[in-house]
Structure 1
Amino acid sequence: MARQYFGTDGIRGRVNQKPMTAETALRLAIATARTFAPDGTGTVVIGRDTRRSGEMIEAALIAGLTSMGLTPQLAGIVPTPAIAMTTRVSGARFGLMVSASHNKYEDNGIKLFSPEGLKFDDTTEEALEAAMATAFDGTFAAPALISTPQRMAGVGDDYVRSCLATVSSSNKIHGMKVVLDCAHGAGFEVAPEALLHCGADLRVIGAGPDGVNINAGHGSTDTAALKAAVLDARADIGLALDGDADRIIVVDETGTEIDGDQIMALIVRELHASGRLKGGGMVSTVMSNMGLDQYMQSLGLTLARTKVGDRYVGEHMRAHGFNFGGEPSGHIILSDVSTTGDGLLAGLHVLSILAESGQKMSELGRVFTPAPQELVNIRYAGANPMTSDRVKAALTEAETLMGARGRMVVRKSGTEPLIRVMAEALEEDLMKQGLQIVVEAVKAAS
């Protein structure tokens, strides 16, 4: 059954257009309350990022929750991992984060967390979709049981303390020149606070949110400003968060962006060397480079792959005993501390490793030799091009061409109307041939 609301990371879309409307938020709040708190009691943690529409969506969630007798606890503007953590430690019935992550301000979304601080699985989301259809039917709280929202103080501070407690080398970070790009997003206060606590010589950019500038010219998906600032400040490293601070991108002292796979390799090597790695390897997605797989094998470790989405990574980690995983896009899960992708936590770990190494980030960040890989995003209107016979035939042709020496990953984005075409091969010419075959077919069908 086709989904109406949920994508790869909660519900997301252009504000005031389906599925991202106030009505959707209201239906979701009622349906989730009936599913997770049928007795009509308990609290629900709500956080948001800095985009203009956040308070509108939050208000609709509040209306739905209070109508069911649940008490919304409003955390304000905090990172997504802070909501996951707070939901887990506070005993809330569930948690809600109003954010569209790396998307621009015109979009918004809602991420959901279980009482354990975990993102919902597909089965739960499908059940919620069914419940949303009939959300306005059924019973609501009696007038005397309608609740009122409460402001929740100290969520950001508690989250920062949790992150800092995991960094053993925070004293060695003292004096390190760091440029931090907060994407004008949810981490604009807590992330600088954490790095200043470590004594970093810090320059902060992208920390002046105005409701419409989130992810605009800043953040993990647009690192040009960060690269320039690193060079201008002669910094040791640059870190870029996204709009809800659940991912991290690193720029070295030369102004060069370091691939997310390299960052994961760097962290997994350190965890393995210190005896803290569990599960005999790590988990990533189908988008990770073949070179990472070969590097893991050289360490005697395994690389397990999942569908795209950090929730799928997290699910596999929990099911198979891993404590580290992530995505090349910068979602990194250190599950001994956090249940979801956490940009600040991962960034602190990178800073700690850099401080201990005595090397430059440009040297440290080249852990393995990547196989040639290229990703092309193709925007479409109307029907999903993935259903086209021409696209299916092109994919078969490309896969036959590359054989065991390469691979194609073609998927529909779960958050935007995009087809993402990724080609990878041990030889660059072979990779480009396969990519061209599929990209031409997808563009023709878009």
Structure 2
Amino acid sequence: MTKLFGTDGIRGKANVHPMTAEVALKIGAAVGRYFSAGRDGVHRVVIGKDTRLSGYMFENALTAGLTSSGMNVLLLGPVPTPAVGLLTRSMRADLGVMISASHNPATDNGIKFFGPDGFKLSDAVEAEIEALIEGGVELNPADKIGRAKRIDDGRFRYVERVKSSFPRQMRLDGLKVVIDCANGAAHRVAPETLWELGAEVIEIGVSPNGFNINENCGSTHPERAAAAVVEHGAHVGICLDGDADRVILIDETGKVGDGDQFMALMASRWAAEDRLANGALVATVMSNLGLEHFLQGKGLRLERTSVGDRYVVERMREGGFNLGGEQSGHIVMTDHATTGDGLMAGLQFLAEMIRSEKTSSELLNNFEPVPQLLKNVRFSAGQVPLEDAQVQGAIAQAEADLAGQGRLLIRKSGTEPLVRVMAEHEDAQLMERAVDSVVDAVTAAVAP
């Protein structure tokens, strides 16, 4: 059996292996058996989803598999990914499941899992679950089948939890905020939260139809929200992705700020308040060198991990750190949540605007990024372009060209069939030549 789990659960095109109802049924039975085996009493799992049409199919298939292994299923409906982490823990569930392909197109879907502590599963646990799926699961007798129940107030519980992370003495009165929900899981909770805290809210991407999630909107396509910020004279724009676990911020001029700028702001602020645990921020290898230099200037450290917010969280838990994230907008604040939470991060930024009496453009301009270039090359199933001799030669030459003043990062995406080629260097032209040389070699290697 091919490996099912990637860097963030299981993901792929809906109705194409492994993202089929048949596989989801087997996954449900396997994870149900894994999290109930050897444990007495009632076992329960919470399931959330985003707004993709295929979410109905996977919700039903997973429910069938989970109940067949004796798990009681609590269906949350469309809620953000961080809501599943929160409610898994608060409802004393054995397992949490989120059906989402995050920022991917509507034709994709995925399944993410949370343990009883509300944190995503480790590689070791995922490997054990894969072995169960491959070996088959013994089903429960008829009188030991689980039940399924729909939970109608899940999103309201989440809204209250997010609001509790916002300083109690603060309100958002007088702030005009553009919120782009990517036609995804936060299309109701995000505008509601901002409005309840007093903001004037301009909504974008709040009309999901099953097919338009992330379509020319949200954190991966912030152009529409940026235009709306300028058009309406808003103070800030907040762009979420399809499952609302990441955020991209837009200042009052329409300029887009990435996760690195936000993490720089929060790390320096928390350090000044003696709230930054162990004097470090955890981020991935994709974060800009400028962020690292900025932190060093503040006497702080940058702990780097592999790409994927789950690896950020694992390092945070290992080292006792409380702030981490990704350049792409996953922001993890373990004082408040167990996973990236785009809405919660957006509220923290708004709180800093109020506290500092600074504009969003001032707060999103903490350091000058080192020139960075990222290009992707798509490949087909079965191809292994990074093992090609010509590709390896191009990578070695590019590394030599950038040595000393920059860096080169080549990796396969964990969520899509892409080779990602990223470089940083003060000499932008040299950097572009290095990236293009590797991209050309990979393109040639995957050509039919």
Deviations 1:228-253 (A, max 9, x none): 11111110100100000000001111
Q: Is the 8 A contact 1:182 1:188 kept in 2?
A: yes
Alignment partners' CA distance in 1, 2:284 and 2:23: 30
Paired with 2:336 and 2:359, the residues of 1 have a C-alpha distance of 27
By how many angstroms is 1:326 displaced? 0.1
TM-score by length of structure 2 reads 0.97
- 1:364 equivalent to 2:363? Answer yes
1:378-401 deviations in whole A, cap 9, x for unaligned?
A: 212240312211111111111111
1:325 is aligned to: 324
In the aligned structure 1, how far is the partner of 2:75 from the partner of 2:426?
50
Equivalent residues in 2 for 1:114-153, closer than 5 Å: 114-135=115-136, 138-153=137-152
Matches within 5 A, 1:21-40: 21-39=20-38
Counterpart residue number, 1:45:
46
Q: Aligned partners of 2:77, 2:370: CA distance in 1, in Å?
A: 43
Determine what percentage of the aligned residue pairs are the same residue.
47
1:11-26 residue pairs with structure 2 within 5 A? 11-26=10-25
Does 2:427 align with 1:435? no
1:192 corresponds in structure 2 to 191
User: In the alignment, is the contact (CA less than 8 A) between 1:249 and 1:330 conserved in 2?
Assistant: yes
What SS does the aligned partner of 1:404 have? coil
1:379-398 equivalent positions in 2, closer than 5 A: 379-382=378-381, 383-398=383-398
The whole-number CA distance in structure 2 between the counterparts of 1:122 and 1:287 is 21
Tell me by how many angstroms 1:156 deviates.
1.2
CA contact (8 A) 1:169 1:356 kept: no
The question of whether the paired residues in 2 share the 8 Å contact of 1:172 and 1:356 is answered with no
Partner of 1:303: 302
Between the aligned partners of 2:426 and 2:153, the Cα distance in structure 1 is: 50
Question: Following the alignment from structure 2 to structure 1, what is the Cα–Cα distance between the partners of residues 278 and 153?
Answer: 34
Between the two proteins, the alignment pairs up a number of residues equal to 443
1:445 Cα deviation from its structure 2 partner: 1.4
Letter in 2 for 1:132: I
Q: Distance in 1 between matches of 2:351 and 2:402?
A: 40
Structure 1 residue ranges (4+ consecutive) displaced by more than 6 angstroms after TM superposition: none
Q: Distance in 1 between matches of 2:215 and 2:444?
A: 30
**Aligned residue number for residue 84 of structure 1:** 85
What is the TM-score of this pair, normalised by structure 1? 0.97
Structure 1 range deviating more: 71-80 or 265-274: 265-274
Q: Structure 2 counterpart of 1:435, which letter?
A: V
C-alpha distance after superposition, 1:345-372 (max 9, x if no partner): 1010011111222222112211011101
Shift of 1:172: 4.4
Q: Per-residue deviation at 1:54?
A: 0.2
CA distance in 2, matches of 1:219, 1:133: 37
Question: Is contact 2:170–2:351 with CA below 8 Å preserved after alignment?
Answer: no
- Is 1:220 equivalent to 2:219 in the alignment? yes
Matched ranges for 1:25-424 at <5 A: 25-39=24-38, 41-135=42-136, 138-168=137-167, 171-382=170-381, 383-424=383-424
Matching residue's letter, 2:280: G
For residues 52-98 of structure 1, give each alpha carbon's deviation from its aligned partner in whole angstroms, at most 9, with x where no partner exists: 00010010000001111110000111000000011011111111000
Deviations 1:285-322 (A, max 9, x none): 00000010011101111000000000000000000010
Q: Letter of the aligned partner of 1:394 in structure 2?
A: A
Distance between the aligned counterparts of 1:265 and 1:420, measured in 2? 24
Shift of 1:205: 0.7
Contact 1:421-1:438 at 8 Å conserved across structures? yes
Deviations 1:134-174 (A, max 9, x none): 22xx4211111212201113221111111111211773421
The one-letter code sitting in structure 2 at the alignment partner of 1:120 is: L
SS of alignment partner, residue 51 of structure 1: coil
Q: Compared with structure 1, are the counterparts of its residues 109 and 64 closer, same or farther at alpha carbon in structure 2 (3 Å cutoff)?
A: same
Unaligned regions of 5+ residues in structure 1, if any? Answer: none
Cα distance in 2 for residues equivalent to 1:308 and 1:334: 17
Deviation at 1:440, TM superposition (A): 1.3
C-alpha root-mean-square deviation of aligned residues, in Å?
1.3
- Structure 1 residues 218 and 236 mapped into 2: Cα distance closer, same or farther (>3 Å)? same
